[in-house]
Structures are given as C-alpha cells and as structure tokens.
Chains A and B, each alone.
Chain A
Amino acid sequence: MALVKLLPRSPIEDSGVARAFAFGTFAVGCLAIAVYGQTYLAPAGTLLVAAPGYIYSHRHRHDPPDRIRQAVIAGLVFACLAYFVFDSVLALFGGNLPQANFVMLLVAVTSFELRTRRNLYSTMWMSLALLYLAAVFAWDVAFAPIVLAWLLCLGGFWTASHLKRIGAPRFQVPRVPLAAALVAAVALGGGAFVLLPQPSARPAGPLIVSLPTYVSFRGELENPALPLVEFGADPSGSTANINLRYRGRLGDQVVMYVRTGAPGYWRGLVFDSYQKGIWTATHSEGQTFRAYVDARQLPPPQGPQLGSFVQVYRIVQPMPGVIYAAAPVESIYYPAAEIRRDYYGDWRAPAPHAAGTTYSVVSALPDYTPGSLKKLAGQDPSPAVYPQYYDTGSLSERARALARQLTAGIDPADRYELVMALTRKLGSEPYRYSQNLSRVPPGQDPIDWFLFDAKVGYCEQFATAETLLLRSLGVPARLVTGYSTGEYNPTLDQSVVRARDAHAWVEAYFPGHGWVPVDPSPGFDPLAATRFPNRWATSGLARLIPHLTIGAPGAALGSLGALALGPGLAALLIVLVAASGWLWTRRRRLVRSRSPGEFQLLRLYERIQRRLRRRRGPAETPLEYEHAIVAGELAELLSDVTAAVNRGAYAERWPSPADMEELTARLS
C-alpha cells in the first residue's frame, strides 16, 4: 500500500488506439509462444478472452470502481496462481510452459480492469515476459520479425498515448518521415546487433525457464545409455558402458538447442575403464544436490581461468537423463527436485529428459592456451590411488610401440607436446574419419584393428586409441562422451545440436590444470578448449579489414562481464551527444544573435581577462575592472577594449571588423 501511495496517480488512458496497440503486444507474445513454445490452446484461448476484455475495460474506463468486479478478478488471479503451482510442481496439465500459461491467463483475467495507463503498461510488461520466454526457445532468425512487431506495438502505444496527451483528435502521424526514422532505427539497431560483440555476464541467480518438478532419484544411480553407442529399449537408459563394436544411428534430427556465450563441447559421461572393446565407469557413487547448485557448493575449477559463460539447454526430443554441460561447471539449474553429480563431475537428472526440458548452466572457461598448459604445477594422480587412469587394458604391444614411435624425440616431461603430438598424429593421414564403418572382425581387438588395419574410424575409435596410447606413455587419460558444439551461430549465441553431433573425446590430466579435453578426431580442434567467439571476426566487420584481430581484448573483457557495462556506457554516450548538440546549438544561436563585432569584441575581452589572470566579477562593471587591475603592458589595450565594450553595451555601437582586427592584432 505504501508503494501505491508513493507512486503518482496514473491517468486514465482514453486512447482506444493505445489500448489496441497494448493488446497487440499481447497478441504478438501469444503468437511467439504458440510458434516457439509449441503450445496453442492457451494462447488462442486467452486471446479470445482478452480481446473483449480490452474492449470492455475501454468502454467502462471512467466508471467508478466496481468492488464486485474487482473481487471476481482478484479471485480469478488466485485461481491462475493455483493453476501455476499445480501445473509447474505436479505437472498436472502437462507442465509445458506453465509460467507462460500463467502470464497469458493473468493478462486475460486482468484485461477487464484496464483503466489507467499504468494498467496497460503492466499488461505490456507481462507480454514482454511472454516474448522473453519465446526468445529462449527461438532458434532461427524468423524471431526477429516478432521482436520488431512487438516493438512496433510498443511504439504504437507510445505514439497513441502521446498524441492523446497533446490533445490530437486523431491518430495521425506523418507517414513518410516517421517510416524513414523507423527504418533508420531498425538499420542502426540491427546493424549494431550484427556487428557489435555481445557481452557475457555472470547471472546473479539461476535462469529458470522450466520450473522444478517433484521428480527425484529412486534407488541407485545408473549410467544411462548414450546415443553414440546404442539406444536400448529402455528410454531411461540403463547401460553403463560403451561398446565399440556397436554404433547407434546418428541422424540429422535436432536433439537440443544450446544458448551459449561460447561454443564448447557439451560434456556428458566419463568412462575410465577399458576392457576388450568396452568402456565402463569404475565409480558409480555421486553427490545429490537440489535443483539449483551454486558455485559455493562445487569445487573451484583448477588452473587459470578466462572467465565464465552461460548456457541454456532446451531438449527437443526425449533423451536419457544426462545433463550435458560445458566443463567445468560453476553452477547449474535443472528443473527437478534433485540432481546428482558423479565421481567424474558428470551431472545426472533423476529421470529421462522430456521434450521441452530446459535447464541452465554457468561454466568456467579455463585458460587452455599452449602457454598456459606448458606450465605445470603439482603431481599426476597417484597410480596407486587411481590405477584406472593408467590402465591400458588389452592394448597390444604393437600399439604401445606405435605410441612411442609417434612421440619419439619429445621430452616425456613436456606433457603438452607429448599429448598434442599424439593427438595430431592420430588426427592426420593415414587415419581418416568416417561414420560408415564396417564391423570389427570377430576376435580382433577394436583398437588394433583401427590403428593398424582399417585406419578409418569415428570418434570413439580415435578417442579410445588416444586414451590408451596416452596411458601407455604414462599420461593419465579417460574417455568422455557428449556432444560437440553443433551448428554455432555467433550472432544469435546459439548452437543447434543434432544427433550426428554426438561425440567422444579424451581428457588428459595436466598437473595444475586438471582434466584437459583433447580431440584426436580428424576435423576437430586437437585442443578442444572452449573459447569465446571472436564476434568482430564472425560478424563480418573484420572480414572487411583483412588480418585485423581485435576480438581478443573484447573477449577478455566480455569474460569479465565488463562488456555488460555497454548499455550504461551507450546511454551515457547518448546523453553526452545530446548535451553536446544542445550546447553547440545554443552557442551557435548566441553567435548568430550577436553582430560580428559584438561577438569578436566579447571574445577578445575574455582573452584579455584570461591573460591578466583575473576574471571580472559578476557585480563589477568593465570600468571598475579596468581601474582595479594592474594591466601592465596591456593597460592601454584594456582601456580601449573597455571603452569599446561600454560603447557596445550601452550605445549599441559595436566595433567594425577593421577595428576588431586592429584590437586583436594588438593583443597578439
């Protein structure tokens, strides 16, 4: 109530056009939810209710408050809230976008009581929330027209209410000039959107798109299956291994969308034990957390860091409950009652992902540059404590010899060179990447067959081979599965991840840095480190200026969140430009309003005062100033200028240009 009293009274909005535009923002929000949230009943139903509501509230805007109507609306608001709770927590109605449904219902219910301009603003901000929810799910540029349409409705509302306020009888504006201004604005804003780097800042809290459900773990955690290996009949996945003799069908269907500030590898499960073509995880224990895990609950990432970045994942089709995330994770939010972090730092959901599940992750971005990785600190994991990381399994002696051959001449203590040499060798001829692989001949070790016979494989073969070869050289290593980046769009900050992007790579241990991802598969970056995208380069601006790399400082600043200051700085810039323009215009008018002699004489008088190091006081007449100051060599000039100023000020006789030239020459 105190807040209500503090706020100024909002005027009743008399403009029907303004109301129409406010309704337009809601319609656009509903359209966006329908298209990108793939829910249709609530948008259509609430639109049908809200339309007469807007008309009703416009017709009765000047009526005295109807207590009964307000009570009914308040009751309906609480009913909406009850729906929201039940649908989001218990998923009674499917749990598909309950917050969007809640917002739409709220707009529909309150549309019958929209009297003041503030009421209309409230309903528009709710529509903006709809637009935001849709934007999270929007993965194509077709969303841009929706943003434009919403902004046009907002502009229309502002225009209509502004015209009403100035007393304009009709909603009329000069079309051509206004259209030109709007086109300029769209070009300017759209150009800035495409060209300027987009800042990445750390969120203050979890990014909740899907709300937590009641689902929690039941029984022991099991490794779900991965699409890389095999899709079992059980959709929750219950296999705890990867069998190199099998390969799932990897199609083009989209499995998830990832909004991300940096393109990375979406890490899934880790396997550390290899026996006869089958990878398994030695440890199945884990730690259970609530839906939101913040940085304080997790061990800090090892080694130097470049910053952190946010990812928002939206699962498109049902998947096993592996929570994919760029490593190392700093905080995570998943819409379930609890989630689990296993021994290897992987994250598991208590149930398979349903289509539409959305979760968010904040990941650290370690400094995996060569210079950084060459600086080692600390020790490798002890073979006595972690024997699985050194276990070469059934690796043949031929393969061990190959490892030594491929790294011949490299200092075994130079971990970086050792790892990268092996990675590059495996990733180049004669080894080739192919998903059309014949079956491993019965009785033959898959790795030997890959390394010495087929020399063609897919990511599991390459990753397994490198893991075991590294182990044979005494480097702790393990196999990681998940998804590669997918189709990354640096402008929209998003990746479209398809089934064919399922990937396996290697994590090699670097003392002081922890487990560093390396990728021996041909066509992939050997050092599979996440990097901030060089948006200047990708935006096309840098392509116009060859050999210019200006993205790194921006990326470094962006990693610190400094670019988030951009909006404030831009606003400040606008204010400064506007103020400068105003001052310049004012000065020009002042100059124009004066005769040339007047302006020049007063400027000369100013210069003399500056030269004498004493300004004339506000209450001091020019003559008093002349008499009060010891002008020295300027005394005569000051006397003449003072006389000229007095003549001009009191008799309106300003000096001629010739006189001014003479006086100015005497000063210089």
Chain B
Amino acid sequence: MRPTWRLLGALVLGAVIYLYGATSEVAWLFLFGLLLWAAALAMLGYTRWNSRGVAASIRLLAVESSPHSPSPDLPESAFRDAPLPAPVFEGDTVELELALTVTGGSARGPARLATDIGGRQLAAGSGLVPAAGWRRVERLEPVRRGSLAASGVTLDTGDPLGFFRHRRRSADQRLAVVLPLFSSLATSVQVRELESAFTAVRPGHGNDLYGVREYRAGDPLRRIHWRTSARRGELVVREFEPPGLRIVGLLLDPTPATPEAADQVARLAASEAWDCLRSGGRVVAWCPGREATRLDESRSLWSILEWLALYPDLPVDPSGPPRVMDAIAFLTRPGGPALDALQDMQSRGAGARAWLVGEGELEVPYQAVGTEWPL
C-alpha cells in the first residue's frame, strides 16, 4: 500500500491550517485540520479493507470473424476440437471481458484493472464493485497472429479520495492463440502445376491410378486422359494416389526476414496443411532448432494451426527434421537451414518443393509470393 501525492497534499494542508489556527485562535481551523488528518487515517483503513476483497479476471468473451477468416468455409466437423469459445484468426475482432469480483458479499471499490493485450493498453476502472461483481467488455480489432496474452496485469485498489493506492500485479495470462489465415491452395493454377511437376518426376511413387476427374485450370496436359475426354466430351485428367499414408513435412524458415513475411509463411503452411489434412494426409511441421509438432497430433488441424500461430517463437529443440516422404519448405530468403533440410530430404528421394516469400532463385521447385493475402 502506497500513499499518493494527494495524501501528502492533504496532510500538508491540514498542518498549515492547524498552524494557522494556532496563530490566529480560530478554533474552527483546528477542527478543519484534525478532520483532514482523521480522513487520512480513515482512508488508510478503507484502502486496507478494499484491497483485500477485490479480485480481477480477464477472459475471451466472443470472436467476430473477419472477411478473410477461414471459419465460414470450415466444415462443421472441423470445429469439434476447436478452441473455445471459438477459434481466433488473425484479423478477427475479439471481445474481452475485464471483470472485478469481490469477496465477503459487500460492495467495494474503487478498483482499476489495467493490462496490455496484443500491444494495446486496456484499462477499466470503477468506483463501485457491486457484490455481484463488475465487468466491462472491450473490443480488440484486428488481432494479429500469435499468442493473445494479457501482460502486465495490475489491479489497483484504494480509497475513494485517492489518498492510498494498493497495487497487485498478476502473472501474464494467455487468453487465446490467434491462428494464421489459410485457404485451400488446390485451386491455384501455379500450385497445381507445381504439384504435378514434382509428383510426375517422383520415381516409383504416385503411379497407381486413383481415378479420373474433370480438368481444372493448371492441370498438366500430360495428365489428360484423352480417351475418356473424347468419350465424355470434356477434358478429363488422371489422378494418382500416393502409395500408403501421405505425410507432409512443413519446413519453416527459422529466421523470417520480417514479421509480415513470418505471417505469410504461417498462412502458406497452414493452407498446405489444410489441403493435406482434408485429403486424408498427415502433417508434421518443423522449424530448424525449434520444437516440431507432435506426430500423434499430425491429423489435428488445430494443433498445427496453433503451432503455426506461435511460429517463430517456439520452444527450442535441437532435434532434426521429421522423416517424411513429401516436404514443403517455406522460406523468406533463398537459403538457410530449412532449405538445406529440404534439399537433403530431396536427395534422399523425398518429394520437395518450396514457397519463397520474397524474391530469389531456388534449386528446388518453388513458387515466390509476396506478403499479401489472399494470394
């Protein structure tokens, strides 16, 4: 509990008035000074009582999706194991509840709760905290990818006159993880060309005919099944199924050039993961020098997205890249350990391609993009 400058001012005012009373024999001045000091003492007791019975909490109340949010496109089943109350994607608007509660069943106050959430200073105060508690809803828009945490949470209590202040600091509290945006890249012409290129040259794999489907823009011409196309009167292409279970490794640049590039890397990786998972595959994400996603969670979209949300601020882990047959690197510069790992995997026969956020030339099949989203 700390006294404020106002208390000092009140005590000095009381002393001056008291002294003036002593030199002028105006007894009312003694009463005035004594009442001021008595008020200071009473407020000391009040602050002590008030500070003991007020507690603060912050929680995520609701999420309002942005136009680019993938939530509306996700199937209902995907939300079964989604974060509660709703997954938060970058760009979304969130509503946070800042609440003050009291113990003892009687109203208290004043109290002020202040915190830093997502780089924004939030503060809410009230002179009265009713017995039923007090809450205030704050809108935060748009949120950025990463951990949405309340840091520097301080609860200030005191007396109504502002003579004393009791400050209680709480540990940082994670409210939500803001996930990267993603969308299916399967409709992208360039992606399909890239896919077909590395699938076609992959020796010994992907030769089992899975079926045929209508032609989509970007499909390589050599996949066109001319006979069926002639029969149906429309272009039909062959589809090949990879042998066995498809596990895709996502290799992310550990030192993205800029935060915007990191965001784009996460979005691309999330999109690749989504495409892989919905086609029945599994995904393992890895960032050199950092902890990879767990293999038993390789089918969980939300686990992958959460990992990508925290990228590149992930726990340190020196273990090597995952053992997968297909690997996609996400780079922000033409080089680095992720590219080395990709090339190493390619040399061992794995399918390899890359996304490059920025400009440059790579020795593996790649596609260069900027930081704008959607692509």
Contact = CB atoms under 8 A, between A and B. Distances in A.
A181 B42 contact: yes
A147 B25 contact: no
Interface in B1-58: 1, 3, 6, 11, 14-15, 18-46, 49-50
Contact of A494 (B22, B27, B106): B27
Given A578-B3, A582-B1, A162 B161 contact: yes
A196 B37 CA distance: 14
A108 to B, nearest CB: 24
Contacts of B37: 189, 567, 570-571, 574
A186 B35 contact: yes
Contact of B27 (A201, A207, A493): A493
A310 B36 contact: no
Max chain A CB contacts within 10 Å: which of B3, B23, B106? Answer: B23
Contacts of B50: 177
A217 interface: no
Contacts of A184: 38, 42, 45
A176 B49 CA distance: 13
Max chain A CB contacts within 10 Å: which of B20, B22, B126? Answer: B22
A182 B23 CA distance: 28
B24 A177 contact: no
B128 interface: yes
Interface residues of B, number: 57
A165 B128 CA distance: 14
A132 interface: yes
Interface string A550-566: 00000000000101101
Contact of B162 (A158, A174, A310): A158
Contacts of B33: 567
B267 interface: no
A178 B22 contact: no
Interface string B118-145: 0000011111110000000000000000
Contacts of A494: 25, 27
B42 A135 contact: no
Contact of B34 (A162, A189, A309): A189
A162 B128 contact: no
Given A159-B127, A492-B27, A165 B21 contact: no
Interface string A164-186: 01111111111011100110111
A189 B35 contact: yes
Interface string A228-270: 0000000000000000000000000000000111000000000
Contact of A207 (B23, B35, B41, B126): B23
A143 interface: yes
B110 A188 contact: no
A477 B183 CA distance: 116
Interface in B287-319: none
Interface string A184-219: 111111101100101111111001000000000000
A199 to B, nearest CB: 4
Contacts of B11: 571, 574
B326 interface: no
Interface residues of A, number: 72
Contacts of A163: 110, 125, 127, 160
Nearest to B35: A189
A196 B38 CA distance: 14
Given A163-B125, A165-B162, A173-B110, A202 B23 contact: yes
B109 A136 contact: no
B282 interface: no
Contacts of B110: 162-163, 166, 168, 173
Contacts of A155: 39, 160-161
A261 B25 contact: yes
A568 interface: yes
A148 interface: yes
A570 B126 CA distance: 32
A432 to B, nearest CB: 36
B107 interface: yes
Contact of B25 (A151, A310, A491): A310
B55 to A, nearest CB: 16
A423 B21 CA distance: 37
Interface string B306-341: 000000000000000000000000000000000000
Given A177-B106, A259-B24, A166 B156 contact: yes
B112 interface: yes
A330 to B, nearest CB: 13
A161 interface: yes
A90 interface: no
Contacts of B22: 198-201, 561, 563-564
B108 to A, nearest CB: 6
Interface in A121-168: 131-132, 135-136, 138, 143-144, 147-148, 151, 155, 158-159, 161-163, 165-168
B161 A158 contact: yes
B317 to A, nearest CB: 28
Given A163-B127, A198-B22, A259-B24, A132 B160 contact: no
A312 interface: yes
B112 to A, nearest CB: 4
A375 to B, nearest CB: 31
Contacts of B158: 162
Contact of B31 (A173, A193, A204, A567): A193
A485 interface: no
Given A181-B45, A189-B39, A173 B160 contact: yes
Nearest to B128: A172
Contacts of A161: 162
A132 B26 CA distance: 8
Given A184-B42, A564-B19, A203 B24 contact: yes
Contacts of B127: 159, 163, 166, 168, 170-173
B128 A186 contact: no
Given A166-B156, A170-B127, A312-B24, A198 B1 contact: no
Nearest to A311: B25
A193 B37 CA distance: 11
Contacts of A567: 14-15, 18-19, 33, 37
B309 to A, nearest CB: 31
Given A138-B28, A568-B15, A177 B38 contact: no
Interface string B150-190: 00000010111110000000000000000000000000000
A556 B108 CA distance: 47
B25 A158 contact: no
29 contacts: A131-B32, A136-B24, A151-B35, A155-B160, A158-B6, A159-B127, A159-B161, A163-B127, A166-B125, A167-B124, A168-B127, A170-B126, A173-B127, A176-B107, A184-B45, A185-B39, A188-B41, A189-B35, A190-B35, A203-B23, A261-B25, A312-B24, A492-B28, A494-B25, A567-B18, A567-B19, A568-B15, A571-B14, A574-B40
Interface of A: 131-132, 135-136, 138, 143-144, 147-148, 151, 155, 158-159, 161-163, 165-174, 176-178, 181-182, 184-190, 192-193, 196, 198-204, 207, 259-261, 309-312, 360, 491-494, 561, 563-564, 566-568, 570-571, 574, 578, 582
Given A158-B161, A492-B27, 15 more contacts: A135-B29, A147-B35, A158-B160, A165-B162, A166-B125, A170-B128, A173-B127, A181-B45, A184-B38, A189-B39, A491-B27, A564-B23, A567-B18, A567-B19, A574-B11
Closest 6 CB pairs of A and B: A162-B162, A166-B125, A189-B38, A189-B35, A567-B15, A172-B128
